[in-house]
Structure 1
Amino acid sequence: MQKTLIICAHYENQGYLNDIYQQISKTLVSSGHALETITLYKESFDPIRSEYEDKMYKMGIEAPSDVQKYSNLIMHSDQIIILFPLWWNGYPAILKGWIDRIFSPNRLNNPTRITENIKTQVKLIAFYETPWIMEPIKETKEALEITLNQGVWGRMGYHTMPIIWIEDQRELSKEKVEDRLNRIIHKVQLDSQEDQ
């Protein structure tokens, strides 16, 4: 049974991104996946990597309980799906802080690494529903591909795929919105089957 971890970095319980989150979850469960989820805002995750926390790692002290929990979920996942909104051509601070704390350089210098024997596939889904002034430019998309796929997950040894970009839905008919949602679900499900 394939183990999938979904990480959602958005505070809304409603809206299109939440619909994607719910539908992907249902589809993967119905396909036989063992599913774990992390909803960073609901879990009140603290994104601040403190000086004290870094000193703990240097002294060989175990990571805080939240970092341990998320690290264990990552270690035991066959694929990781990360959903996040795009704000001012970047990803949310809470997701950046999550990466900073889970993959703290001082922590990874310890003998017990969380990135050994990696076969995990990482898939990123970015959504923007913003005024035109905040819509991502081409260079932003290219930069995020490099930063997240190559600079973070790829550098850590994970297998990555091109980011799935979901543009503003507000001007579309209900039928077109649902069609886009179905195509996203199909792509995630198809990729998941190929990974097995």
Structure 2
Amino acid sequence: MHFLLVLAHPLQDSFAGAVADTATRALEANGHSVDRLDLYAEDFDPRLAQAERRGYFDDPYDTTGIAPIVERLSAAEGLILVFPQWWFNFPAILKGFFDRVFVPGIAFTHDAARGRIVRKLTNIRLLHAYTTTGSPWWVARLVMGDPVRRLMRRGIAPFCAEGVDFRMLSLHDMDRVTDARRRAHLERITRRLHRVGRAGTLP
């Protein structure tokens, strides 16, 4: 399989970077190919341009400003997202990635007759999100309702092919987490990705 791995963290030496490295090694060790898209390193502009917003319902939608990334996304069979959760949400640059790249004609099309959307990212068969939070697990899940997982599962994964293999793995309480727990988390990611077969499914 060919994967697009999207990294959203401004620090090159971050734990998110270590997660991205770990995921890349695990996938490549099993014969998969990985295209790494580091949003900060590639200076991705998360802002939806005026022309993009005005033409949002144009047919076809003008993807000129994001054409290289659209090409990379369209070539992928699996999508790996690596990011921290800030204020119980996506980093702004990753939210902008969704705003600008998951657009009409690319992620979906409008069904004007029935007022719904039709999936377009049928090439994506596997979608994994590897995240961290500064809060303990019980704050993220019980107090806040795990908003990022909910958005991913209900609002983003459904834009991919029906039945897409969606998984999310979070390391909580990053402000106090030990080196041992960091290593264990990386090992868990490695084990999970080693189970991804060439067909892109987990047993």
User: Structures share a fold, TM > 0.5?
Assistant: yes
**Contact 1:88–1:136 (Cα < 8 Å) also in 2:** no
Partner of 1:182: 187
How many correspondences in the alignment? 190
**CA spacing shift, 1:172–1:86, aligned 2, 3 Å:** closer
Alignment of 1:147 with 2:155, yes or no, is: no
Which amino acid counterpart does residue 138 of structure 1 have in structure 2? L
Partner of 1:157: 161
Query: Structure 1: how far apart are the matches of 2:67 and 2:5?
Result: 17
1:1-196 equivalent positions in 2, closer than 5 A: 2-56=1-55, 58=58, 60=60, 62-65=62-65, 67-105=66-104, 108-109=108-109, 115=120, 117-128=122-133, 130=134, 136-138=140-142, 140=144, 142-157=146-161, 159-169=164-174, 171-192=176-197, 195=200
Q: TM-score, normalising length from structure 2?
A: 0.78
**CA spacing shift, 1:46–1:119, aligned 2, 3 Å:** closer
| Partner deviation per Cα, 1:112-134 (whole Å, 9 max, x = no partner) | x9825445211011112x377xx
Which amino acid counterpart does residue 96 of structure 1 have in structure 2? K
**CA spacing shift, 1:141–1:24, aligned 2, 3 Å:** farther
**CA spacing shift, 1:20–1:141, aligned 2, 3 Å:** farther
Q: Percent identity among equivalent residues? A: 18
Q: Which has the higher strand share?
A: 2
Which amino acid counterpart does residue 130 of structure 2 have in structure 1? I
**CA spacing shift, 1:188–1:55, aligned 2, 3 Å:** same
Which amino acid counterpart does residue 150 of structure 1 have in structure 2? R
Q: Which has the higher helix share?
A: 1
| Partner deviation per Cα, 1:73-107 (whole Å, 9 max, x = no partner) | 22221211100101111111111111011123487
Which amino acid counterpart does residue 75 of structure 2 have in structure 1? H
Which deviates the most, 177-186 or 93-102? 177-186
**Contact 1:83–1:125 (Cα < 8 Å) also in 2:** yes
Shift of 1:109: 4.2
Query: Structure 1: how far apart are the matches of 2:191 and 2:59?
Result: 47
| Partner deviation per Cα, 1:43-65 (whole Å, 9 max, x = no partner) | 11111112212345627464124
Unaligned runs of 5+ in 1: none
**Contact 2:8–2:91 (Cα < 8 Å) also in 1:** yes
